[in-house]
Every structure is written in C-alpha cells, then in structure tokens.
Amino acid sequence: MRAFLLLFSLLIISISASAQDNYDVSLISKDLLPYASAVVRNKEVSVEVKDLDNTYYRIKTAVTILNKNGNEVANIQVWHNKSRVIKSIKGTVYNEFGKLTGKFSESDFEDVNGQDGFSLFQDVKVKHYNPPVTDYPYTIVYEYEVKSKQTLYFDDWEPNSTTGLAVEKSSYTFSCKPTFNIRYKEINMPAKVITGNDKQGNKTYTWQVSNLKAVKDEPYSPNEDKYLSSVKIAPEKFSYEGITGSFTNWKELGKWQYDKLLASRLQLSDVTAGRMKQLTADISDPKLKAKKIYEYMQGKTHYISIQVGIGGFQPFLANDVDQQNYGDCKALVNYTQALLKTVNMDSYYCIVEAGTRKVSPVTDFASMNQFDHVILCLPFKNDTTFLECTSQKTPFGFLSDFTDDRTLLACTPEGGKLMHTPKYTAQNNLQQRKASFILDAEGGLSGNMLTLFKGTQYDNVEYIIEEAPKDQIKSLQKEYTINNLNIEKVEFKQDKSLQPVTTESIKLTAREYGSVNDGKLSFPINATNRMSRVPREIRNRQNDVYINRGYTDEDEISYTLPAGYRVDLRPTNVSINKPFGKFSSTVSINGNELIYKRRMQLFDGTYNKDTYQDLVDFYQAVVEADDNNVTLIKGN
C-alpha cells in the first residue's frame, strides 16, 4: 500500500511538473523570437450564442512576456456594464523555467470607469490587472468568462493584436443555434474558417493559427488593420437591450438605428422651438442660421457622462438636455439636431471612429463595433458640413484632427449612408510665424512674434489658452527652444468664422541667446521652430510608409544686428523636394538686418516602403539645417 501511495504521489508530481514545464521559455521556437517582445503560447477564444439576448465569451490565454516592451500584452482588461457581466476571472504566473510563482483572482483586479469624455460607451467599467513582475521573461496564464445580454455586436478576433507579438497557437470558435445566421470578414488571415456542428447540434465557425511570427514595429506604418490579422463577425438578426432588429448592410443598420434609437428622441417644448425661430429670424443664409443655433447649444450646454437610455447607443431625450443643460456625445448631437429641426433644417446623426489616427469602417462589411463617437452632419447642397457637438469651444463646421478625413455612417430616415468627412490638406494645416528680433552686442534677444494657426493646427495651443496666465508663460517657455526665454506679454485670439484661425502674439526677451567669444558673436539661426527628432533606421522594412496627416510650417525671422558687427559665417540656403515633403531655408542680409525664412511641408499619403530611407534622410537634413548658427564679427 505504501509503495502504491508513493508511486501515485510521484505520478502527480510528474504530471504537475510537466504542466509547468510547458511554459518553460526555452521551449519557444527560436523562429518566433525575432522582433518579439511577447509570445502567445496558447489562446482559446470561445463565443457561444445561446439566444438572441444570451451570449457567453470564454477566454483562456497563456502568454510569455520576454521584456518590458511586452508588458502591455500582460495587462488584462475586461470591460463590463449592466448588460455584460463578468462571471469569473482567475490566473497564474510562471517564471522563465515554467515554475509557478503566483496566483491571482478577481479580487486582485482594479475596477475603474471606462469613460473617455467622448465615446458612445459611457456606461462601461473596466477590470484590469498588471502582474507585479519585474524579472523577465515570465508567463502569465489566465481565463475569464463573460455573459452578454445582446447579439448586436461581437468582439473582433485578433490573434496577433499588436506588433512585437508572436503566436505559437491561437484559436477562435463561434457557436450558435442553426437558426442564428452570421456574416464574417477575414482580414489578413493566414487560415480560413472551418465550419461544422458540435455535439449539441449548434453551428460552429472555427479559425486556428499557429507559428505566427511577430510583426516588426516600424515608424510611419499604415493602420494595423492593413497588416495584422483579424476576423469580424456580425449577426443578421439580433437583440439589443430588448430591441430586436436585423441588418446585412450599412443601409439596414442605419435604418434600424434611426427608427429604433433616434427618431423618438427629438421632441422639444414649444417655448424652445419659439426661441430658435426668434434667434434665427433675421438670418436667411441656411449655414449661418445653423451656426447661430450651434453656438447657442455650445453656450447653453456642457459635456457630462451619463448612463441612460439603451446601453451606449441611444441618446438622452432632447427635451431633458434642454432642461438640464448637459449631455454626452450622443445627447448633445441629438439635442443640436432637435434644435435645427425647429427651424426646418435637416441633419444626420453620424457615428464615427474618432482620434488623431484616421480610421474608417470596412465599407463592405456592416457591423456596429467599428465606431466610438457621434457627430452631426448638415447636408447643405454642395456644401456638406459636419459639427463636433461635444466641445463647447470648437468652431462651427470645424472637425480638427479628431474626426477629419474618414468614413462614417449617417443614420437617416431612408437608412444608413456611408459619408466621408472633410480632409484638411497640407496647405490647409498651416502655421505661419513672423518674428522681429533685436540682437544686442552681449547676445541678448528681444522682440515680438506673431503666429497664426489654421486647419488642424488651429488648436495647437488650445491647451495653453485654457491655462491660467502664469501657467501659460511656463507652457510657452517649454514650447519654444529659446534659452533664458522671458515672456513679457502674451495674447491669444481665436477667429471662429467658417475658416477658423488662432493668433498668438508674444513679446519676449532672452539673455545670452547668443554667445560672445574672441570678438565674435554666434547665435542660432532658428529661434522658434526646430525639428529635433529623426525616425530610427529600419533595415529590411516590411510596411509601406504612411503619413497620417500633412501640414505646412512657414517661419520668417528678422534679426536686427548689433551696431559694429557684420556677418562672418552664415548657413547656406537649403532646398529639398521629395514626393512626401518639401523643405527650404534661406538667409539674406539687408543692411543691418538678417532675414531667415524657413518652410516645411509634409504630405499625407501612402508611399512605397523603399521610400523610408529617403524620409529618414529628409528629417536628418531638416534637423541639421535647423541647428545652424550665424557668426558675427566686429568691423566693416
């Protein structure tokens, strides 16, 4: 009996050791290590639709973190709300040899609000956990289950969700009743779907990948959906918070939103309707009439996160916003739309993916989870105008770099319409600076500087404008690369007309801007707008070069030179012309005045990967030109 127990104990220990050794880092194929900061050892994602209002997500993950750059992969985040309930979470941590070093459970997770100030989903909370491990490499193994009470949208499957992540093995299984139909879209997938049936007779859709090498992180790469793998899934029939519907294309999806979530939310009181008619009575131009109402909305309301209506997709009632003077992005768009309706002006409630990075939905695959924000469209004839209603400071018709140049879905009475927001070109995104400085014999600088910001550069200094005067000075001292900068006076003006402009006026001094040595006075030629960073070198680049947004910077600085000095050395003129950008700088002398002009342009677009070295060389040349000095010497 003792011998049997001993043998049984040894067997248990052997099995346990074998399970742990599976996470020994030395077992990872060396072929997967190049460019990898983390390696998915195994990930199993299972989505089971039991009914229209009953979906289960089950995720099991084992991932090895090779270095600190992979820490984000180890950060577990599970979002939840009243209709998406976390059933369980647990996990373990192993060292590089596959030995257990720790365990964690749901009680170790921090639960925080997922609000960001603009998104559709304002009733979301996020449970997140970062393993307190600093010895690399290590492996984190975890699993969780979530129950969702809707079938309108499903999370995308992304086996290699980011650059620097290799995958040993990963699978995704979607199962549902035979009567539940889905559409799916495979993007950059190395394996195709396998369909079948499980033991319960449910339909199954399975994707499996293995031995995916890490994609190298490369500067100026296109959006990740251009080169990483994913699968999108959308239902034909669904239920969302008790409301049923169906769609197979964008027109049907937009029609459902308009009919079920929006049309009943636009009522306003007769008093407010009368006020809008009176406010616009003397305005005949439809665009100026809309501008008046938009600015009324901005002055009356403020943004606040609210959790009402149907999940993250239905806006607050317009009349409630009118009475309470606040709302989230959905509510403020809906309210503005209601105000416009009182003066017989049509507008479209539009859902869009927001952010400085331009992201558009897949045009041939309609699904609800490709958006995170709402804006308003005014379909003027030959002059379609979009409004950002969340900000109380944004000029009428100005989207800045938050929702510019991307496709969105407009929800209209006739159905959904894919539309495109305005593009601000490199010429539109203009920063113009003109400075007049006096340089004294000790190297001190004094003078005035006037800068205009247009296009997406309009709000370059918005954060400074919002600061207290003392903080404005501190921020500007950091903004400009002028040693010993003392700002005597600063003034900002914002023209919020249809072509908005921000104007910054600064009166300044700077002691020892130039240095005196052996009768010579040297000073930096570019006092205000220097480029200091060059993209890193990339060998064997894989991705095309992508420039997300273009711009133009124009600087003209005149220096009145100290009496008795003349120019001894000055920078040579520079002119660079590339498909992706242009740069020029010139120095001229007129009597005792030295005039420096600089013009930098970058053009958005996608360029061949072989262009990348040209881009690096371009930036290097600009950095060197911006770093040049002028040397003055006494005498005639």
Domain termination site, one of 215, 238, 261: 238
Quote the crossing angle between the two packed helices 286-300 and 329-341, to the nearest 10°. Answer: 140
Is residue 399 included in any domain, yes or no? yes
Residue 587: strand, helix, or coil: strand
Which CATH number belongs to the domain containing residue 48 in this structure? Answer: 2.60.40.3140
Count CB atoms within 10 A of the CB of residue 414: 10
In eight-state DSSP terms, residue 28 is S
Residue 463: strand, helix, or coil: helix
382 and 442 part of one domain: no
Q: Determine whether 324 is exposed, middle or buried from the number of CB atoms within 10 Å of its CB (0-12, 13-18, 19+).
A: middle
Encode pLDDT of 424-480 as tens digits.
Answer: 999 999 999 999 999 999 999 999 999 999 999 999 999 999 999 999 999 999 999
Query: So what's the pLDDT on residue 310?
Result: 52
389 and 461 part of one domain: no
Domain termination site, one of 184, 209, 238: 238
User: In whole numbers, what is the pLDDT of the chain averaged over residues?
Assistant: 92
91 and 144 part of one domain: yes
472 and 527 part of one domain: yes
- The model's confidence at residue 7, banded by pLDDT at 50, 70 and 90, is very low
Encode pLDDT of 280-302 as tens digits.
Answer: 999 999 999 999 999 999 999 98
330 and 451 part of one domain: no
In one-letter notation, the amino acid at residue 472 is Q
283 and 406 part of one domain: yes
Which CATH number belongs to the domain containing residue 318 in this structure? Answer: 3.10.620.30
Residue 211: strand, helix, or coil: strand
Identify whether 571 is preceded by a cis peptide bond (ω within 30 of 0).
Answer: no
Q: Give the residue with greater pLDDT, 11 vs 270.
A: 270
Query: So what's the pLDDT on residue 476?
Result: 95
Q: What is the mean pLDDT of residues 347-370?
A: 96
Q: Is the CB of residue 523 less than 8 Å from the CB of residue 496? A: no
Across the strands, what pairs with 252? none
43 and 79 part of one domain: yes
Query: So what's the pLDDT on residue 519?
Result: 87
162 and 45 part of one domain: yes
Residue 398 tokens, joined: 């100005």
Q: Scanning the structure block, which residue is given the tokens 């060396």? A: 30
111 and 203 part of one domain: yes
Query: So what's the pLDDT on residue 635?
Result: 77
Which CATH number belongs to the domain containing residue 597 in this structure? Answer: 2.60.120.1130
pTM for the model stands at 0.91
Is 60 exceeded by the pLDDT of residue 118?
no
Q: What is the mean pLDDT of residues 133-149?
A: 95
DSSP string, 504-552: EEEEEEETTSSEEETTEEEEES-SS------PPP-SS--SPEEE---EE
Q: What is the mean pLDDT of residues 493-510?
A: 96
Query: So what's the pLDDT on residue 309?
Result: 44
- The model's confidence at residue 605, banded by pLDDT at 50, 70 and 90, is very high
- The model's confidence at residue 20, banded by pLDDT at 50, 70 and 90, is very low
Range of the domain at 262: 247-420
Is 80 exceeded by the pLDDT of residue 409?
yes
Query: So what's the pLDDT on residue 306?
Result: 52
Q: Scanning the structure block, which residue is given the tokens 């690399």? A: 136
Among 72-81, 171-180, 453-462, the minimum mean pLDDT is found in 72-81
Strand ranges across the sheet with 76-80: 76-80, 125-129, 110-113
449 and 555 part of one domain: yes
438 and 388 part of one domain: no
Encode pLDDT of 35-60 as tens digits.
Answer: 999 999 999 999 999 999 999 999 99
* Percent of the chain predicted with pLDDT > 70: 94
Query: So what's the pLDDT on residue 45?
Result: 98
In eight-state DSSP terms, residue 369 is G
Query: So what's the pLDDT on residue 22?
Result: 87
Query: So what's the pLDDT on residue 5?
Result: 44
Query: So what's the pLDDT on residue 518?
Result: 87
Is residue 445 included in any domain, yes or no? yes
Is residue 4 included in any domain, yes or no? no
Strands 551-560 and 430-439: parallel
Q: What is the number of alpha carbons within 13 Å of residue 320 lying toward its C-beta?
A: 13
Distances from the Cα of 46 to the Cα of 122, 190, 624, angstroms: 26, 19, 54
Number of domains present in the structure of the chain: 3
In one-letter notation, the amino acid at residue 291 is K
Domain termination site, one of 238, 260, 277: 238
486 and 583 part of one domain: yes
Is residue 535 included in any domain, yes or no? yes
Query: So what's the pLDDT on residue 9?
Result: 45
Encode pLDDT of 533-573 as tens digits.
Answer: 999 999 999 999 999 999 999 999 999 999 999 999 999 99
